[in-house]
Structure 1
Amino acid sequence: MNKKKAELLGQGCETDPYPVWARLRQEEPVSKVVLRDGLHCWLVTRYDDARAALADPLLSRDPRVAGPWWQESDRGRKLEDGAHLGVHLLTREAPDHTRLRRLVSAAFTQRRAKAMRERVQEIADSLIDAVQARGHADLVADFAYPLATTVICEVMGIPTRDRDLFRQWTSNAVVSEPEGNGAHAVPPRSPDDYLRALVAAKRRAPGDDLVSALVTAGEDRLSETELLSMLFLLLIAGHEGMVGLIANATLALLENPDQLLLLRDRPDLWSSAVEEVLRYDGPMELAAWRFTAGPVTIGGTPIPAGEPVVISLAAAHRDPDRFDEPDRLDVTRSDNPHLGFGHGLHYCLGAPLARLEGGIAMETLFRRLPDLSLAVSAERLHRQPSFVLRGLYDLPVTFTPVRSPARSR
């Protein structure tokens, strides 16, 4: 493995991986790399190759098409072991994927997302009400995380009192605390145990929510493993990406005050700003694993059957062959076919809700706390050491204390 790949896959690239992505994109756009756990994959970094790969039927999400070396690895076993909740939309193709997607799609339509606008606004305002008199906050713990988890809890029918469990099940759980503060405690309850109890409760008393709908499904009824896996996926995907989007967007705008000033003058650009942040520094650095169902050629590079392929969305989104001035945040960017929600058959079901939620969160935050600023330098922020998700562990900010609600819109 050459130095560029070692830099990319080693520690220390969480803050700014984009220069390394740029070198790989230019010099070796489709390359075989070794990950931190010793497994290898093929890495795709150019936009055109990435977009085509996301929709290529020969690149399967189903890990059962991978070679035996993958199946026998710890990572491969986790994807297939029901106790690890790995049988869901991200690991299945048609016809199973079609059946699973049909069951949950009704909860994530544009119409349903728009119907939640008032509730999302209410949650965002209440969270700012809770901190505005302090003059300081951690926007991950105090705003992004509770907003995202409350919304997905209400969609799924999960008691909001349980939301603190979810962070322990996500990539935040593997982030070390700042030196001297120790490490996270072991989660008191496993997601498998929690979801089994939730399903049992919904079977006894179903409600008007997504979990109840999946539990009481008719002819397309899910197996127990599929049901638990789908609930886990929807729960984690439904909040973790949104936490990352809100935090990354806040940081990007604070570091680009000209763009924030433009948004203050033109609030009609907030929707465009959400799309631009998804491109410029989105929460998904990599797309989900794919496996070659047969020999394929990507960007002129032949890849044998049974090989894992990883698509770098972060690299593709900074490709100068597709985006003008790709390293510049531009909330007025009109030509922005980013891949932040995927492309093709596996396009993200939650995209309408994510767009609505992200736009409301950002507009409300900067309107209610107009002099928001970082409490520490950007270099001192703690990022999640993930090679898939690109997010912040915390985001300390300061602002002028406000003693009474200021909810004018």
Structure 2
Amino acid sequence: MQNATVRLDVPLGARPPDELYLLDPALLADPAGGYGKVREQGPVARAWLTDTQPVWVVTRYDDVREGLRDSRFASSPDAIEGHTGEDPRRALVDMLNLPEEVQKYFLVSALDTDPPDHTRVRGAVGRAFNARRMQALRPRVEQLTADLLDDLGRRSADGVLELVDGYAYPLAVTVVCELAGVPEEDRAVFRRWGDDILVMEPERLRESSLAVVDTVLRLLDQRRREPAGDVLSALAAARDDERYRLTEEEAVAMVLNVVMAGYDNTAQLVVNSLAALLTHPDQLKLLQADPDLTLSAVNEFIRWCGPDIMVRMRIAAEDVDFRGTSIRKGDCVQFVLVSANRDPRVYADPDRLDITRRPHDGTEGHIGFGHGIHYCVGAALSRLQCEIALDALLRRHPGLHLAEGPESLRRTIIPGTAPRLPRLAVRV
């Protein structure tokens, strides 16, 4: 589809109507199908992030994995020698219409930095998410799921359970806030801010953004005076740690990223997984017959219906010839997870949900959590919660089924994420 003569240097505001537009409602409504068509037309496609921001789109599994490991694709223009132009990430921040005083927190996180800054920022929080710490959380997550299921049962008069706001979100919010050290009385601030980011309502978002930043600054100050062995304490201490010394902006940004990704993405992974099982009765029966399949099932759900379409935007730090396409220094690149995870070059019958699917190469069997140095720091926590949430629900209610039929699974279209399922009602 692309060749070495195609460029991105086009006049601002000149988006051709026939070129791929990443905010196209049809593409947002069916990202797996839409980006799948792009993938089969060629390895690299020219597209538009906004009406004024062109971008290269990489869609195939091997290419996405390679690109995410390639240091020639930077996360920040600060890593590009001689870069003096406008920060192309600004278009994404501007879409949120954030107050000026909080914008600075959205471009300094570990997701938007490159080594050595990335190593320093991620190192400050990475120890809180190691595999040993995650497994130590298992009894607490199991207890929380049991309590939530008890509560759902008490509140259900007709055998119908609502699993989005009644199960998946309360579980994810509680787990990540306990890990981070956010007190129960402050958790509603984070949930409201996360909801406002997803729906992009400017006035609500302005108010909740100021509130959540003020809350994080207050909590970090408390932890500097009274450490508590949580993520907030680690980030507060990093201000004076020579190995991981963080600025105030970096510490706040990391808290926001940990909490937002930790609850919203995890909750939607649980919801998507349950919806997939309930609309694929053969897979539901398999899992109920053999609970030992739960871990491989979770990996298949991440591949088949993970909550993210793509990773954060990258910027070419130098001229790069990538799969026959000339990508010039400063060009923007989007590596697309949803199409890579259904690439027929890697997966047999990739659009089929198969919880018995086993990776052939020793990997997780997907790149739903990204790849390379920006691999999701909370991947193990998200996987653990999904595994426990599915197992506990199916053991408690082996006969559960959709309360209103597949047509009830109407999803909300939100730019930047896979379509969100706002409600999932089941009868037990």
Q: TM-score, normalised by structure 1?
A: 0.88
Structure 1, unaligned runs of 5 or more: 178-182, 401-409
Alignment of 1:8-407 (within 5 A): 9-36=23-50, 38-64=52-78, 65=80, 68-71=85-88, 73-75=90-92, 83-84=102-103, 85-86=105-106, 87-133=108-154, 134=156, 135-170=159-194, 173-175=197-199, 187-188=207-208, 190-217=211-238, 218-219=241-242, 220-335=244-359, 337-400=365-428
**1:382 to partner: Cα distance:** 4.3
Could you tell me which amino acid in structure 2 is paired with residue 373 of structure 1? H
Q: Distance in 2 between matches of 1:235 and 1:363?
A: 24
Structure 2, unaligned runs of 5 or more: 1-15
**1:117 to partner: Cα distance:** 0.4
Q: Secondary structure at the match of 2:25?
A: coil
**1:118 to partner: Cα distance:** 0.3
CA contact (8 A) 2:309 2:336 kept: yes
Segment drifting more, 58-67 vs 114-123? 58-67
Q: Secondary structure at the match of 1:98?
A: helix
Could you tell me which amino acid in structure 1 is paired with residue 287 of structure 2? L
Q: Distance in 1 between matches of 2:218 and 2:410?
A: 34
- Per-residue CA deviations over 1:371-408 (Å, capped at 9, x if unaligned) read 322334444434342342225242231323xxxxxxxx
- Per-residue CA deviations over 1:167-196 (Å, capped at 9, x if unaligned) read 32225644399xxxxx97875553211111
Please name the residue that 2:20 is paired with: 5
- Per-residue CA deviations over 1:211-261 (Å, capped at 9, x if unaligned) read 112212322321111111111111112112101110110111111110110
**1:300 to partner: Cα distance:** 1.6
**1:69 to partner: Cα distance:** 4.1
Segment drifting more, 10-19 vs 37-46? 10-19
Q: Distance in 2 between matches of 1:3 and 1:167?
A: 38
Q: Distance in 2 between matches of 1:379 and 1:305?
A: 47
Q: Distance in 2 between matches of 1:31 and 1:317?
A: 17
CA contact (8 A) 1:369 1:399 kept: no
Identity of aligned pairs, percent?
Answer: 37
Q: Distance in 2 between matches of 1:223 and 1:69?
A: 23
Q: Do the aligned partners of residues 47 and 21 (structure 1) sit closer, same or farther apart at CA in structure 2, a change above 3 Å counting?
A: same
**1:299 to partner: Cα distance:** 2.2
Q: Distance in 2 between matches of 1:72 and 1:35?
A: 10
**1:24 to partner: Cα distance:** 0.6
Please name the residue that 1:407 is paired with: none
Q: Do the aligned partners of residues 109 and 298 (structure 1) sit closer, same or farther apart at CA in structure 2, a change above 3 Å counting?
A: same
Could you tell me which amino acid in structure 1 is paired with residue 113 of structure 2? R
CA contact (8 A) 2:53 2:88 kept: no
CA contact (8 A) 1:63 1:91 kept: no
- Per-residue CA deviations over 1:300-329 (Å, capped at 9, x if unaligned) read 211111111111100011110110110001
CA contact (8 A) 2:287 2:293 kept: yes
Q: Distance in 2 between matches of 1:62 and 1:222?
A: 17
Q: Secondary structure at the match of 1:137?
A: strand
Q: Do the aligned partners of residues 163 and 391 (structure 1) sit closer, same or farther apart at CA in structure 2, a change above 3 Å counting?
A: farther
Could you tell me which amino acid in structure 2 is paired with residue 293 of structure 1? A
Segment drifting more, 127-136 vs 319-328? 127-136
Please name the residue that 1:403 is paired with: none
- Per-residue CA deviations over 1:60-82 (Å, capped at 9, x if unaligned) read 11143477244594436789x77
Q: Distance in 1 between matches of 2:426 and 2:414?
A: 27
Q: Do the aligned partners of residues 205 and 120 (structure 1) sit closer, same or farther apart at CA in structure 2, a change above 3 Å counting?
A: same
Q: Do the aligned partners of residues 391 and 371 (structure 1) sit closer, same or farther apart at CA in structure 2, a change above 3 Å counting?
A: farther
Q: How many residues align?
A: 393
Q: Distance in 1 between matches of 2:101 and 2:252?
A: 8
Q: Distance in 2 between matches of 1:280 and 1:148?
A: 21
Q: TM-score, normalised by structure 2?
A: 0.85
CA contact (8 A) 1:286 1:387 kept: no
**1:18 to partner: Cα distance:** 2.3
